[in-house]
Chains A and B, each alone.
Chain A
């Protein structure tokens, strides 16, 4: 039972983390290859404050605030650069984060931080907390997508120059997307540190950034059910199958490639196509050669 609880907790944290990237990349169309840096900022903020004696719950807003502030600064970069240049810029951010943390003795340097003080919740309680926060993030994403902010994000993702001509203050919206998305990544980071009881610079590197991007792409960029599914499955697989665990990078990289090549809309796109393919087929039936056969069934 303890194993399942631990697995569900890390799945919920992954879902929360992937949803936070989906806000930036999926809804607002701003690619980020450095999202793990914000997971790390949240984790380090929470862990350091816990060690300083603050209760775990008090560190959650602090983790969100720190990550969100740094996120808004990185978002400033997105105002100047687009698409592939933004990808490279955000990639730089994650290397910068790891590089800086490694050199800081007060952050544990290479060794990281262990013995993070407990949250006060038992394991099932902490699992529930992670699930509730992931569900709240999903709820926020659904709300946001249907609000005017979601409609503007959607427009910016497709054609930001035209959005300007419609009177939209594009830079402010992009900054808002980065601030909200990275703050939520900080929240996921706080849970991450508390869950694993250990954090180190390598937990939040480029590979983690690509992993979370694979979850979003696998599930379906922009689709909230898709991203939840993608993050849940891809975070559980390595735990279920030793094989997948050993070849995690290979699998994530392969999935990323296959999805971009064959279904850029991810699993959500595949499901959508299946439904769309079935419906016209049913209505078309009476006109096709199979009509005589169906006539008997539906007189």
Chain B
């Protein structure tokens, strides 16, 4: 990689009391990449994500977004530097319509400080951006509805549209496919791939391996808090330590569409 990485995670460790949740993890995300962050339950994926967003402070190590070191910044300051997060549990504002939810995020230049927010009223531009974002994720038909009664698939896309409306350099997606049926998951994964192709760098945490293998350009695998493999999906999946830690033979067969090969043994 000649280009400067969009995201650089360097030697991050997180300890909760005596428990090491993340142990000296380093990886980088080149601009324009769709990177999958995977690992079994309890591997430390969510903790690592929280270190990146600033909800959890790393015990050691540092996180850098392009030229900006994020260490010590509050969540909202990191968002202002160009991060955006689509949360695992959808949390739309239920009192306002779908498009108002997205417009609220799109108004970030007005909401930087209370004073600028007080001095601005108009939001024609933000509504236009919001509409474009809803179209981008395919839920423009729901623009005027309240999120309360909408299906989970729509709310997941709303969460993503809201994150995109911040016009982030890097989009973090925390299990966007969780809770969806296979058809919905497939469609949303394709949408994620489209968004990435439009130039947004994405880090995707996901349990749905089939979709991860299908859309991600590279993977980072965590197990017990440590990084055990990284690289192109097929190379990573064929490594024995990944299979041992995370996959059964069955899962790999499913992930590779039943064409399980033994290339992994060659690497070992």
Interface residues of A (CB under 8 A from B): 143-144, 146-149, 151-152, 154-155, 158-159, 161-162, 164-170, 172-173, 175-176
Task: Tell me how many residue pairs across A and B have CB atoms closer than 8 Å.
Answer: 82
Interface centre among B108, B116, B118 (most CB of A within 10 A): B118
Taking the closest CB of chain A, its distance from the CB of B142, in whole angstroms, is 19
Q: Which of chain B's residues 93-118 have a Cβ closer than 8 Å to chain A?
A: 93-96, 100, 104-105, 107-108, 110-114, 116-118
Q: Chain B residues near A164 (CB, 8 Å)? A: 74-76, 79
Q: Chain B residues near A169 (CB, 8 Å)? A: 74, 76-77, 112-113
Mark interface residues in B53-97 (1 if CB within 8 Å of A CB, else 0). 100000000000000000000111101100001010001011110
Taking the closest CB of chain A, its distance from the CB of B90, in whole angstroms, is 10
B95, A152: Cβ atoms under 8 Å?
no
Q: How large is the interface on B (under 10, 10 to 19, 20 to 34, 35 or more residues)?
A: 20 to 34
A155, B118: Cβ atoms under 8 Å?
no
> Which residue of chain B lies nearest to A161 when distances are taken between CB atoms in the complex?
B91
Contact of A167 among B79, B93, B100, B121 (CB under 8 A): B79
Taking the closest CB of chain A, its distance from the CB of B198, in whole angstroms, is 21
> Which residue of chain B lies nearest to A159 when distances are taken between CB atoms in the complex?
B91
| Chain A interface, DSSP helix/strand/loop, else mixed | helix
CA distance A47 to B162 in the complex (A): 50
Q: Chain B residues near A175 (CB, 8 Å)? A: 114
Given contacts A148-B120, A164-B75, contact A158 B114 (CB under 8 A): no
Q: Chain A residues near B113 (CB, 8 Å)? A: 169, 172
> Which residue of chain B lies nearest to A144 when distances are taken between CB atoms in the complex?
B118
Q: Which of chain B's residues 161-191 have a Cβ closer than 8 Å to chain A?
A: 162, 166
> Which residue of chain B lies nearest to A170 when distances are taken between CB atoms in the complex?
B76
Given contacts A147-B120, A166-B105, A169-B113, contact A154 B95 (CB under 8 A): yes
Q: Chain A residues near B110 (CB, 8 Å)? A: 148
Q: Chain B residues near A149 (CB, 8 Å)? A: 114, 117-118
B111, A168: Cβ atoms under 8 Å?
yes
Q: Chain B residues near A161 (CB, 8 Å)? A: 91
Interface residues of B (CB under 8 A from A): 53, 74-77, 79-80, 85, 87, 91, 93-96, 100, 104-105, 107-108, 110-114, 116-121, 123, 162, 166
> Which residue of chain A lies nearest to B103 when distances are taken between CB atoms in the complex?
A151
Contact of A159 among B93, B105, B116, B162 (CB under 8 A): B93
> Which residue of chain A lies nearest to B119 when distances are taken between CB atoms in the complex?
A147
Taking the closest CB of chain A, its distance from the CB of B174, in whole angstroms, is 11
A172, B79: Cβ atoms under 8 Å?
no
Taking the closest CB of chain A, its distance from the CB of B7, in whole angstroms, is 17
Contact of B85 among A143, A147, A165 (CB under 8 A): A165
CA distance A155 to B103 in the complex (A): 12
Q: Chain A residues near B112 (CB, 8 Å)? A: 169
Q: Chain A residues near B96 (CB, 8 Å)? A: 154
B93, A147: Cβ atoms under 8 Å?
no
26 A-B pairs (CB sep. < 8 Å): A148-B117, A148-B118, A148-B123, A151-B104, A151-B107, A151-B111, A151-B123, A152-B111, A154-B93, A154-B95, A155-B93, A155-B104, A158-B94, A159-B91, A162-B87, A164-B74, A164-B79, A165-B87, A166-B76, A166-B104, A167-B76, A167-B111, A169-B74, A169-B76, A175-B114, A176-B114
CB-CB nearest 8 A-B residue pairs: A167-B79, A176-B114, A148-B117, A149-B117, A148-B110, A164-B75, A149-B118, A162-B91
